[in-house]
Structure formats: C-alpha cells, structure tokens
Chain A
C-alpha cells in the first residue's frame, strides 16, 4: 500500500517517532501536532486531499493506509502529551519544594553579657531567701566608700595610686567596691529597721580600681555584695546561707569551707572556698590540685559599720559578703584573659553569654 503514498509522506511517517521523542515540552509537541495532524497544511491534511483526488479503485486501500497512519500519529502525540504533562507537574511540584537539608533561615540570637548573666544568676539564687537588689551610684563619696566601712583614715586603698578621684570634686571617687551600697542602704533603712524586721539584699555592680589593663587586671570590674541584718545573727547564718547559695549555683554536692581572714568592715572575717566545681574536688589546674577554689570574702558586720549607719550593734547584727564576678566567670569558663570581657567581640559574647 505504501507505494500509493507520496515519498515525502512516507519519510515524514518514518521521522515521526524521533520527532516525537525530541519534543521537550508541550509547546514543541503542539507544533509537531500541527505539522502532522493539523487542520491545514499538515501531513494528514495533505493525505486527505490526496484521498479526495485518488482514483476510485484505490480509495479503499488508500483510506485504510491513511487512517492507520493518522491513528498512529494521534496515539503517539497523545501519549507524548500525557508524558510531558506528567513531567511538567512533577517539575512544578519540585519547584515548590526545597531540600529540607538546605540551611534554613534561623531566627537571630543575641546574648546577655556573661558578667551580667552571672550576676543575674546570683540574684535568682538569693531571691528565695528573701533578698532583693539594692543599687548605688558608681561615683561615691569618700565617706561611703571608706569611712562608713571602718576603713582607717590612712588606709593605702585611699591613695590616688589605687583609687580614681574626680578632678573638680576631690571628695568624690569611683567606688572601689560595692560595699558603699551597704552604707547607703543601712543609713536609709536604719530608722525603720525594727518595723521591717531587718534587711537582706544583694548589691551587684561595677567598681573601679586604678589598675593597668592586662590579662588579669582591669580598672573596672564587677562585684556582688550580699548583706543581712537581723537579730542574733552569727557565723552559722553566714555559713548556712552561703552553703545554700553556692549549692544552688554549683550543684547539690558542693562543699564550702570558711577560713579566717581580715577585712576592715567585718569581724570575724573569712574567706570562703568552694569545692572545685570543675573537677568535683578531685584536683585540677583550676584548683591547683587542692580541690578548693576561693570564691568570696565575708564576715559578720563590724559593729562600727552598724553604728555609723545609726544601728545599735548591741541589738542588731548581721553578715556581709563580697564576690568578684570576673574572677568567678574566669574560673568557671577558663577564660584565659580578663580583657576579653571588655573587648565585646560578638563571637565571645555569643559563646559565653547567651540568654537564660
């Protein structure tokens, strides 16, 4: 029968499967469809024209051949269309999907400064015991910073080699410890001390000493002061409170050790060691193998300090402690250089500070 068909149609028929496969998208397929079975100018249209003009005796056979050809083309096109449509759907689906292992957008994270975070933690630890926070100015009077704390008039700390003074106000200085907050607070609450049933507070804050900046010294650093005034307060209460607080801070198995020491504003005075939180007191570099690290200084409030504030030391007594925040932060974190805390590199802050 093929001899009835023109050569170019036979060739077109032979090229069809390849052309079909070559259609990469529906548009190409549509063009192919037009070329083969379109209403006008297509191979199929030309065949229909051929059929009309064919001799009568050939019409039957020719018709059958044309139909076979057309059917083959139509089926081919239909199948390819379905294929391409499926492929398109798949691609569309893929386009709205992302590999879940791609790095996702992450909400930004900031951080509290590690020193502030440590001070906040201390406040948290003492809150259940009824301590609140007192704050005082960093520019202080000599009276609050020294005299009210039973520090002798000729104490070396008063020298301008140790303490920053204001040029225009020789009586003003940058506080060298948080202890003047004791003096201020006691002076303020003295008249109502009986009514309020004593006082207990923490005073976290920044303090200044005239030290050059190096890996272990800074002219500005932080302390947390703790103070409690009540009736019949003794060393056992200091020990009990610190034991509670330091266990809350370092873990329930923490032990504390008091050693006699001397600070002008307390009597008796002591240094407080805590069993090394880094090695569970087994001995390490931080505790120099001893299992203990010095954590704060403390003692019972010197009667002169109470008397200065107008509080009768025969009736009232109390304890106080002072803790170096940087020292503790460096010990806990093994930070090798104090200056890192004041350099404020975001990488350091992010790693060390965080947010509770």
Chain B
C-alpha cells in the first residue's frame, strides 16, 4: 500500500514535523515495514507492507490511526458533511446477510472536473486520474479512507436495486469488458435487467459512469469478507475494492464514506444532491473479548498490568470495561482481526513496542530428547561421503515420467506419484529414484569440464501405494570420469564399476548393491537409508584378542577361465584353509595377457596366516597345497 506523507499528515498532524526515516521506523515498529520510499511530484511516497489480517490499515486514515495510537497524538476528526438522509429515491433491497448495510445517494452532476490536488494525490498513488469526478472521487476516497465506494450511471439503472445472490449461469459484463458467468455464490447488485455489479469487487459495464453521465447513484456498502474473497478468487478479479472488503472493511464507514463522496462531487463539479438514504444498518458490534492479567503478563514476560492494557486498547479504539476476571474489550468496528484474548495482548505489546520485551531462556521442564537414529544415520553417511571426496547435491523431488521410468520399474507406477498441477511435464512425478537426477547433474558437471564427478544425495524417493506416495529415505551415489593423473605420483585411470563396489564396502552395506551403469564411465548405486547398518550401541566394542606372533604370507598365481566366479573360488579355498589361522584371503592382482592360454586369466591369490604360536613352514605349505587342490577342483591351474 502506498502512503503519501503529506496526506498522512492531514490525518495526523503530529507526523508533519517528522523525517520520513523516523516515520518508517514508527511504522515498522507497529508491524508495517516500509519496503521502499520514492519521491513523486515532490513528495515522499512510502511503500508500506500490510499483513493480510489488517484490511483496516490499507488507507491513509487507517495508517494514521495506528500512528496516532502509538504516538498518543490526536487524529484529525473526520469531516461531518451534514448530508441529510431522506426517502429512498430507488428501492434498495438487501436480500443476503452478506450485505447488511447499503448507503446510497443520487446526485445530478454539474460541470467541472477532478481538482488538481486530487489528481496529484492519485498520481502519487500510481493511479491514473480518469478526469471523471465521480470515478476519481471514489478512488481518492478509497485510498484516503479505505472504504470502497462505487458510482453507477443512475439513468441506466432500471427499477429497484437488489443485493442478492446471483443465479447460476447469469452473466455480467464487468468494467474491464469481460463477460463473467456467475454462480450462486456470487453476490451481485442487480436491477430489473439483471446483475449490474459484482458486489465489492467490480462494477458492471452497462451502468458505468462516462463523460455523458448526468446523474449518478452512489454505493457505499459493506460486504462480507469471505464472500468477496471467494468471488475475487473465482473470477480472478483482485481489485482495490476486493482487497479491502476481502480483508474486512469498516461497516460504520458506509454512511460516512457516502457523505464524503457526496461532498466531493458537490465541491468538485457542483453536483446537486437529489436524495440520500440507507438500506439496512451497521451490524452489531462484536461481543467483548476478555483479557486476564495472568495471560497478559505471561505473554508479555513481565508484569505489565491491566491499567496499561486498558489504556493501550482504548487508544486503539476499543471500548474497555473492567471486571473481576480482568478486562473486557469491544474492538472498534474496523478491527475484524481482534477475536481472542491473545489478540488483545499482542496489541498491548505492539503499542508498547516489541523492543521492550525482556529476554530470557525458557526453563527446561524435562530431560532433552536424543537425536533420532535415523537422523544421525543420514548425518553420518553424509559426512563419510564428503570425507571420501563426494559432493552432496540437492535436486528437485519431481522429475519427468520418462527419466523416472527406467529406474522405478513396473512395481512402482507413476500414476500414484503424479502431481495434479505440476510446473511442467518435466516436473510432474515424484521420483521413484534419485539416480536420474544425479545422472543429469553428473553429466552437466562433465559437460562443464569436470575431470571427475563424485556426487551423492540423501532425499526421499517415492513408492506408489493405495494410500498415496510412501517416502523412503534414500542414498544415491554417482561416480564417473578420470581418477588420478593430476599429480606426478598418481596414475590416471577411468572410474570403474569396482570403485562403486569398494565404496559400498566402505559404507558397510550388508549386501552388495547393484551398480547402475549410467553412461560411459559413469556409475551409480542407490540404497534405502534404512538398509545402512546402524553403528554399534557401544562406544567402544568388546576387546578381541589378537596374535602378536609373526604372520606368514603366501601367494598362489592361478590360471582360471575368463568367466570364472571369484566368489566360488574364494569360498572353496577358504573352506580348505584352517579358519583359526587364516587372517586374510584375497585376489591382489588380475593378469590378462595374450601370452596366457586363450580364454584364461591369472589371479594372484594372497593368503595371510597367523596363530597364537610361530607357524612352521611345513604346515603352511600343507595348507597352501590344500587350497590349491580346492582351486584345482574348480578348474583352476597353478600358473607356471
């Protein structure tokens, strides 16, 4: 909302002497931060941020009320225009509780147009003066006093006015020229011909004021906020009027604004009042809201006391009474946001200034809770991977169905994971796997010239279920490009599938996860975080004795078929060796060469033995011979 300094000062003279910067600070302290200040036509215009609950503050008068309460300075009284009401010239029937009051008047317009001062004000508000007195006056009034009004061309209205619910499929051409098809939840102003305005949102084209208009019928009513909000949303019509009615206008302003509008037209273009009247009445004031001293002091964090509360609330326009329980405040007609005791307490603190709130740490009432194992698990694995040289990524949770499909499989149909209103097709399904996102990120990095990509992500993957997508905390890692070759000691080589298997081993995965080939030299693994082994409960595990006797190492170079199973060979050899003395058995080199018999390769198997005694050469020779025999039984041969 734009606020023009001098116009604000007209409502509260005390701010006339203040610097704009000071004024901004006062407004911010009241909960209305100023987003920016611009100088328009020689005056400062403040762009004030107003929260959705404060429709009452969306005007110069509304802002002035707040500042006046804060500074304890008087507001300029609203002008009493002395408009006398008489008999209705046109019957106005209020047929819905959504419009309890409708003040109106008919004027015969004279010559003359919007005065320069009003045009200047409108320009400062970034509104274009229409040079039609009735239209400009209504706009000026709204921005100055916050109450939306409307002027109809009185000669175009046929018969009685009804404020009623529209019938479904009725149509109305609004001022913007669009034909609106109405529903039974739309509140309209109608005459005998049908709807002529969307109540509180926008007038109709058929009755709009033009340069030819001779007589105007003014509307200054009050419409139910919820009804107006729904209409504005339904018709995507967010107007100055709908903003104010939608957030709650002041019903007591209906007559006042009508009078102000009448007086403007009289003054600006010599209009002659033919009659003014009001249908309905200002609705009953809200019921009183209680505030106890205990609640006030608990919220405030100090003993503020009810006297201060009463004084503050009175300054804000509340009617306050005291009783044994504390005080009871009836909010002013413009404050629809005050409904519960906490609201009143907030007002007291707000006027006093939040800077006065004391500061203290809350006492601990029970033992703190531990961090959940699932959370710690994610922290731990993220740190481990970062230590190993991997970069944590954050990618969107939704992807294109095409890239999702190869990784999710038929058991996880996309239908259960599809968004109703995605940003676009490529963001339309909740991903069943993190790998497509990581693959795209890796490829992007490689395209950008990275020699090597090491990426991981911890995020939910989604599994379709009848009850909706089920989230599974998931870890995915991708690795690709060239390892080493960046210093004189580390030879360069391509990242291989085995590197991912080794990584899985480092993470202590219970089962070897499948390694996905995501592209040339790009591999990925994906596991559920729940499948990662939890660290042991014990800080330090039980002591396990280890031998201090020397260990013995023996190598066997075995010729095996190119498609021989290492797992089978390892199993057979290990089974043939004494378990209590075998420390380690593993292939430490694979040799493939054209000099080897065709279809064969050489595996260098290394055995390490250790026992609680010094091992004797002969017994180790015996073991190695049995291991060899076991290997030979599977088709392996000792390499000469």
Contacts and interface: CB of A to CB of B under 8 A. Distances in A.
Contacts of B48: none
Interface stretch (A14-22, A34-42, A97-105): A97-105
Nearest to B370: A132
A123 B418 CA distance: 33
Contacts of B490: 105
Given A102-B488, A197-B365, A166 B469 contact: yes
A227 B288 CA distance: 31
Nearest to A208: B397
B357 A303 contact: no
B471 A138 contact: yes
A170 B343 CA distance: 34
Given A135-B375, A165-B420, A344-B441, A259 B33 contact: yes
B396 A219 contact: yes
B393 A349 contact: yes
B421 A210 contact: yes
Given A167-B419, A259-B354, A120 B441 contact: no
Interface string A102-137: 111111111111011000100000010111110101
Interface stretch (A46-54, A63-71, A84-92, A231-239): A231-239
Given A219-B396, A237-B301, A259 B233 contact: no
A254 to B, nearest CB: 13
Given A130-B364, A261-B31, A355-B386, A112 B392 contact: yes
A127 B379 CA distance: 15
B163 interface: no
A268 B460 contact: no
Contacts of A191: none
Interface in B196-226: 226
Contact of A343 (B369, B370, B420, B444): B444
A350 B51 CA distance: 40
Given A239-B358, A344-B395, A105 B388 contact: no
A138 B397 contact: yes
A344 B391 contact: yes
B143 interface: no
Contacts of A216: none
A331 interface: no
Nearest to A106: B487
A342 B391 contact: no
Given A138-B397, A228-B362, A232-B298, A112 B386 contact: yes
A186 to B, nearest CB: 14
B396 A220 contact: yes
A80 interface: no
Contacts of A138: 397, 460, 471
Contacts of A270: 354
A174 B421 CA distance: 11
Contact of B31 (A198, A237, A262): A262
A161 B236 CA distance: 11
B360 interface: yes
Interface stretch (A24-32, A152-160, A176-184, A275-283): A152-160
Contacts of A334: none
Contact of A172 (B28, B299, B454, B468): B468
Interface residues on B, range: 35 or more
Given A156-B233, A210-B423, A344-B391, A230 B349 contact: no
A159 B233 CA distance: 9
Contacts of B519: none
Interface in A288-314: 300, 302-303
A355 B380 CA distance: 12
Contacts of B488: 98, 102-103
Interface in B330-345: 337, 340, 342-343, 345
B383 interface: yes
Interface in B310-328: none
Contacts of A6: none
Contacts, number: 257
Nearest to A104: B487
B305 interface: no
Interface string A177-214: 00000000000000000011111110000101010110
B369 A110 contact: no
Interface residues of A, number: 94
A250 interface: no
A251 interface: no
Given A230-B362, A241-B362, A267-B342, A132 B371 contact: yes
Contact of B387 (A113, A241, A261, A355): A355
Nearest to A192: B366
A262 B52 contact: yes
Interface string B369-387: 1111011000100110111
Nearest to B30: A260
Contact of B422 (A104, A164, A303): A164
Contacts of B30: 260
Contacts of B365: 197-198, 230-231
Nearest to B33: A259
B418 A167 contact: yes
B301 A160 contact: no
B349 A103 contact: no
B35 to A, nearest CB: 10
Nearest to B418: A167
B368 interface: yes
A317 interface: yes
Nearest to A219: B423
A341 B392 CA distance: 11
Contacts of A219: 396, 398, 423, 427
B453 interface: yes
A137 B28 CA distance: 36
Contacts of B421: 160-161, 164-165, 210
A133 B416 CA distance: 29
B595 interface: no
Interface in A237-279: 237, 239-241, 243-244, 257-262, 267-271
A350 B394 contact: no
A169 interface: yes
A95 interface: no
Nearest to A169: B468
A110 B506 CA distance: 16
A234 B356 CA distance: 13
A346 interface: yes
B383 A112 contact: yes
B517 interface: no
Nearest to A170: B420
B454 A341 contact: no
Contact of B33 (A166, A208, A271): A271
B363 A230 contact: yes
Interface in B410-432: 415-423, 427, 430
Contacts of B417: 166
Contacts of A115: 394
A159 to B, nearest CB: 7
Given A132-B371, A139-B430, A231-B365, A164 B419 contact: yes
Interface string B574-618: 000000000000000000000000000000000000000000000
Most buried by B among A129, A168, A210, A258: A168
7 pairs of A and B residues whose beta carbons are closest in the complex: A197-B366, A236-B301, A108-B389, A260-B31, A197-B365, A268-B346, A130-B368
17 contacts: A111-B391, A133-B372, A139-B469, A154-B226, A172-B468, A198-B365, A208-B397, A210-B421, A219-B398, A228-B362, A231-B365, A235-B299, A261-B51, A317-B298, A344-B391, A346-B445, A355-B386
Given A165-B421, A169-B468, 16 more contacts: A108-B388, A108-B454, A166-B468, A174-B419, A230-B363, A236-B302, A239-B358, A240-B362, A241-B361, A241-B362, A261-B51, A268-B345, A268-B350, A317-B298, A353-B391, A355-B387
